[in-house]
Structure 1
Amino acid sequence: MELEAVTLSLNGSVHELAHLRSWARKHLRYAVAEQVDDVIAVLDELASNALKHGAPPVLVRLRHRQGFVRVEVSDGSAELATPRTPTAEGGRGLYLIEGLSHSWGQRPSATGKTVWAETVLDVDPGR
């Protein structure tokens, strides 16, 4: 079984991240567990960035294709995500995404932007 595109809307609170992780795990239950952990870390960081630095509405999409899962987080801010110099307060998120993803990027839209990442994700034959 492979995942078709699924979407979740967030209301703007970082308190929703636990629900987001649970939602994603439910939709990725067919995949290799260790790879799902990486996807969840990437998803959590992209969503956290959108909630902290972006603007509503925030939409999350998961789509599995050809051995990868694509995570997309769209928000209402036109300001593109930019790596920052890490400090004690943060600035490591995009570096983490880069390290855990096969590729990542972003694209502006008429209503804001979408930041995306593709991470290896194989179907677990035992599931």
Structure 2
Amino acid sequence: MSSVTAHFDLPLDAAAPGWARTAVTAVLGGWGLRDRAWLDDAAVVVSELVGNAVRHGGGQIVVDVEAYGRQVIVSVADGSSVVPRPRDPDGTGGLGLRIVESLTVRWYVESHQGGKRVRAELLSSPGDGVTEAGTSRTEPS
């Protein structure tokens, strides 16, 4: 199975979720994963994870994207060791991890360099996935 990876370092800044959305969708599109609805879902997931890192994390934010065929994993690391937990929505938030849960196969938390990394396995991308060159395979017509 072919695999490709990308890595982004982002500052702890309110604009970081937007930067992450733009970078991740550009990378996934460059790898040949171009289904618009699926890319929109991927953008929402990374935006929610980075938004949580900005609000509740610390230090620099690190975003990694890994694609193995049709399977894509996004991860967001920050300097806080506090493990995120879904909570009931209120006037200040509470929907982010529920949204991530609805758009992924699963998400989980790992220790990462004194902080944490939240990994989210996206639903399989439509199409044939990526090849070693980072482009999607197409079947002959």
Q: TM-score, normalised by structure 2?
A: 0.81
> 2:117 corresponds to which residue?
114
Alignment of 1:19-58 (within 5 A): 19-29=19-29, 30-31=32-33, 32-58=35-61
C-alpha separation in 2, matches of 1:14 and 1:95: 21
- 2:125 maps to a residue whose letter is L
Aligned identity (percent) is 27
Query: What runs of 5+ residues in structure 2 fail to find an aligned partner?
Result: 130-135
* Number of residue pairs aligned between Structure 1 and Structure 2: 125
C-alpha separation in 1, matches of 2:119 and 2:81: 15
CA contact (8 A) 2:16 2:50 kept: no
Matched, 1:79 2:82: yes
Greater mean alpha carbon deviation, residues 116-125 or residues 90-99: 116-125
C-alpha distance after superposition, 1:18-61 (max 9, x if no partner): 22211111101121221111111100000000111011121000
> 1:95 corresponds to which residue?
98
> 2:133 corresponds to which residue?
none
C-alpha separation in 2, matches of 1:14 and 1:6: 22
List 4+ stretches of structure 1 deviating above 3 A: 122-126
- 1:121 maps to a residue whose letter is S
- How far is the alpha carbon of 1:84 from its aligned partner? 1.5
Partner SS for 1:85 = coil
Q: TM-score, normalised by structure 1?
A: 0.89
- Which of the pair has more CA radius of gyration? 2
